[in-house]
Structure 1
Amino acid sequence: MKCKSIYWLAVFMCLTVIGCDNTEDGSYVDPITLYEKVNGNWGLTNLKLVDEFAITNAIEPHEENLSTYFNYEDFKIKFNVDEKNQPTSYEVLGDVPPLFAPKGFWRLSSDFQQTNASGPVAIYLYSDAQKTQKTDELKLTSVPGNNDEMELKLVHSSGGSAYASYVFKLTAIN
């Protein structure tokens, strides 16, 4: 009889301990998207022209720093999102020669950073709010993180072959 009492007491204790384990995981929040990271004002720290033809044919030099030419030190870009972190408009600020449409609308090819070898996320630029008239495409080659830096690449091509690209290194402006 004493053995059965100890058995039932042990079972009761186990059930009590298991029943008290109530882990609180918090409430659900939406995951952080790239839109939240790209949103905001960005200032140019470096602009590099890359001669893709020269790279392909092993010709030097194949890069040129354009940061201090043509007022590019004044280059700023602003990416806007709405209250739901969905992309709206963008605008290039500063008296600089345009390498792509200086204002319009934008969206990303993916809401999240790619973890496979599919290449960088694209920033599609549009001339209309409905996002049906694509004007250009930028590659998000370095995603902003805790260092508030971002890198974009604009590739110019002809007949499917890239001949020049522009690499924009940007930092967040508060």
Structure 2
Amino acid sequence: MNSDMERDKVILVNESDVALGQMAKMEAHRRGCLHRAFSIFILNANGEMLIHQRASNKYHGGGLWTNACCSHPQPGDDLKESALERLQYEMGIHCELEKVFSFVYKGEVENGLIEHEFDHVFRGTFDGIPHFNTVEVADYQWIDINELLQWVANSPDTFTIWFRQALPLLLDEIAFTTSLS
């Protein structure tokens, strides 16, 4: 991984997440090419979810609320290690992560860009205070899941496209795994 956390490339994949090559990140988003990504959801011991507001200078989604961390692994990166490093870089958090599921989504976002990602969703638990990187993050909050669901239902456009799609899938998965315990 680049020591300065530059993520200027994406790994192009097919619908089975088989790597097909790489492309400049902005070109992939302009053309809507399917590429590998990860999203990290963090919960605390009270069952609250950590969400953050993307910095206003982001190439898309600036000012929108989303999950604790999301990014693109770089060619040659281990997916989980990349997720752990990015979580530390963006939110100043170190915790164990477990992969929960993957899904594919596609949608137009602002600036004429298209998100088309094979998104690997990780979850972790953290009970400290995030020390976020202001280049990446404008604000954060811990929020009760029911309050979050109400907010998303009432104001979906204040959240990123991937968050709106991943959140219900994650909650279904959490409920399913909890019922098996």
TM exceeding 0.5: no
Bigger relative contact order, structure 1 or 2, given CA contacts below 8 A and separation 6+?
2
Give the structure with the larger helix fraction.
Answer: 2
TM-score (norm 2): 0.24
TM-score (norm 1): 0.25
